[in-house]
Amino acid sequence: MNKKLWEKSVAFHGHECPGLAIGFKACEAAMEKMGIAFSKDEEIVCVTENDACGVDAIQVITGCTLGKGNLLYKGTGKMAFSFFSRSDGNSLRMIAKPFNDEMDRRQRQEYILNSPADEIFNFNKPNFNLPETARMFATVVCEHCGEGVPEHKIRMNDGKKVCLDCFKDYSRGW
């Protein structure tokens, strides 16, 4: 275990916890199994299926961030991470195995940090393709609230261009 990276992750996250340890261990596994390193731009992409503590370790260790467009959120709620390497097309999805409920938080954290990755995660290929690189979009002003919105997030209501906050969806139950 790279204690310096763990300490950097803890400093960014604010405290130690089993969730942060999961993200830390996922990064270690991805780096080992895929040969990846810190992503300065979009060389590495991570699709996280959760918005929990472990995502902070993903950002610190891999350089995958929302701002660069190489950290994407797929809200299944699963403790799963898919990594993609743009340079060689390699990909890997890992999902945490269920844990023994008899461990307290500290024991679980130590178990995660000190166990082999194959004991913590199931590994396979992602069931979706590598997302495209981040794109730039023109800004459109919402005709209701006056706030700027990227064009791909604009909707139409009563003939007006509106943002998602102002959009009144119409649904009949399907």
Higher-pLDDT residue of 169 and 95 is 95
Q: Is the pLDDT of residue 74 over 90?
A: yes
How would you class 46 by CB atoms within 10 Å of its CB: exposed for 0-12, middle for 13-18, buried for 19 or more?
buried
CA distance 19 to 72: 18
Neighbours of 31 (CB within 10 A): 18
What the block records as the tokens of 60 is 């610190």
Check residue 14 and give its pLDDT.
Answer: 97
CB 120 within 8 A of CB 136: no
Q: Is the pLDDT of residue 173 over 80?
A: no
Check residue 107 and give its pLDDT.
Answer: 93
What the block records as the tokens of 28 is 């270690």
pLDDT band at 170 (very low <50, low <70, confident <90, very high): confident
Which amino acid is residue 13, in one-letter code? H
Check residue 100 and give its pLDDT.
Answer: 76
Strands 148-150 and 139-141: antiparallel
User: Which overall architecture, per CATH, does domain 136-174 show?
Assistant: 2-Layer Sandwich (3.30)
Distances, alpha carbon 34 to alpha carbons 30, 44, 50, 92, 149, in Å: 5, 10, 21, 8, 37
CB 27 within 8 A of CB 78: no
- Over the stretch 15-59, which tens digit does the pLDDT of each residue have? 999 999 999 999 999 999 999 999 999 999 999 999 999 999 999
DSSP E strand stretches across 115-171: 121-124, 139-141, 148-150, 155-157, 160-162
Please provide the average confidence, as pLDDT, over all residues in the chain. Answer: 94
Check residue 35 and give its pLDDT.
Answer: 94
Q: Is the pLDDT of residue 124 over 80?
A: yes
Q: Is the pLDDT of residue 174 over 80?
A: no
- The mean per-residue pLDDT over the stretch 144-149 comes to 96
CA distance 112 to 96: 10
* CATH class of the domain whose range is 3-124: alpha beta
Using DSSP, state whether 9 is helix, strand or coil. helix
Minimum mean pLDDT range among 97-101, 150-154, 170-174:
170-174
Q: Where are the domains of the chain?
A: 3-124, 136-174
- The mean per-residue pLDDT over the stretch 99-126 comes to 93
